[in-house]
Structure 1
Amino acid sequence: MRLLALVALLLSLPAVVLAGDLTVSVRDAAGRPVRDAVVTVHPAAGASGPIRFAWPLRVTQQQLQFQPYVLVVPVGQAVSFPNLDRVRHHVYSFSRGNRFEIELYGRDETRSHTFRAPGTVAIGCNIHDQMLAYIRVVDTPFAAKTEASGDVVLRNVPAGAATLRIWHPTLNVRGNETSRAFTVTAAAGRQTFSGDFSGRAAAR
Structure 2
Amino acid sequence: MNKHLHPLFAFLLLSTPLHAASLQAELVDNQGQPLANAVLSLRSAVAPVVAPAAAVMDQRSQQFAPTVLAVRSGTSVAFPNSDNIRHHVYSFSLAKRFELRLYQGTPSEPVIFDTPGVVVLGCNIHDWMVGYIYVTDDPWFAVSDEQGRLSLEQLPPGAYTVSLWHPQTPDMVPQAAGQLQLTEAGSQQRYTLTTQAPANQAAPSAPASAFGDAFKKARDAAQ
TM > 0.5 fold call = yes
State the partner residue of 2:172.
175
Alignment of 1:1-204 (within 5 A): 18-50=19-51, 57-105=55-103, 107-111=104-108, 112-172=110-170, 174-179=171-176, 180-199=178-197, 202-203=214-215
Paired letter, 1:81? F
Paired letter, 1:78? S
State the partner residue of 2:5.
none
Tell whether the 8 Å contact from 2:78 to 2:106 is kept in structure 1 after alignment: no
Q: 1:123 to 1:18 in 2, by over 3 A?
A: same
What's the C-alpha RMSD, in Å, of the aligned pairs? Answer: 2.3
| Other structure's SS at 1:30 match | coil
Tell whether the 8 Å contact from 2:23 to 2:186 is kept in structure 1 after alignment: yes
Shift, 1:51, TM fit: 6.0
Paired letter, 1:178? Q
Q: Tell me which protein shows more strand as a share of its residues.
A: 1
Shift, 1:83, TM fit: 1.6
Q: 1:161 to 1:109 in 2, by over 3 A?
A: closer
| Other structure's SS at 1:143 match | strand
Tell whether the 8 Å contact from 2:34 to 2:147 is kept in structure 1 after alignment: yes
Tell whether the 8 Å contact from 2:52 to 2:74 is kept in structure 1 after alignment: no
| Other structure's SS at 1:83 match | coil
Q: 1:109 to 1:194 in 2, by over 3 A?
A: closer
Return 5+ residue gaps in structure 1 as ranges: 1-15
Paired letter, 2:85? V
Shift, 1:153, TM fit: 1.0
Shift, 1:49, TM fit: 3.2
Shift, 1:75, TM fit: 1.7
2: CA distance, partners of 1:44 / 1:192: 23
1: CA distance, partners of 2:149 / 2:67: 17
Tell whether the 8 Å contact from 2:67 to 2:132 is kept in structure 1 after alignment: yes
| Other structure's SS at 2:49 match | coil
Tell whether the 8 Å contact from 1:28 to 1:195 is kept in structure 2 after alignment: yes
1: CA distance, partners of 2:44 / 2:32: 28
Tell whether the 8 Å contact from 2:164 to 2:193 is kept in structure 1 after alignment: no
1: CA distance, partners of 2:106 / 2:158: 46
Shift, 1:139, TM fit: 2.4
Q: 1:162 to 1:17 in 2, by over 3 A?
A: farther
Shift, 1:74, TM fit: 2.4
State the partner residue of 2:12.
none
Paired letter, 2:175? T
**Identical-pair percentage:** 35
Aligned residues: 184
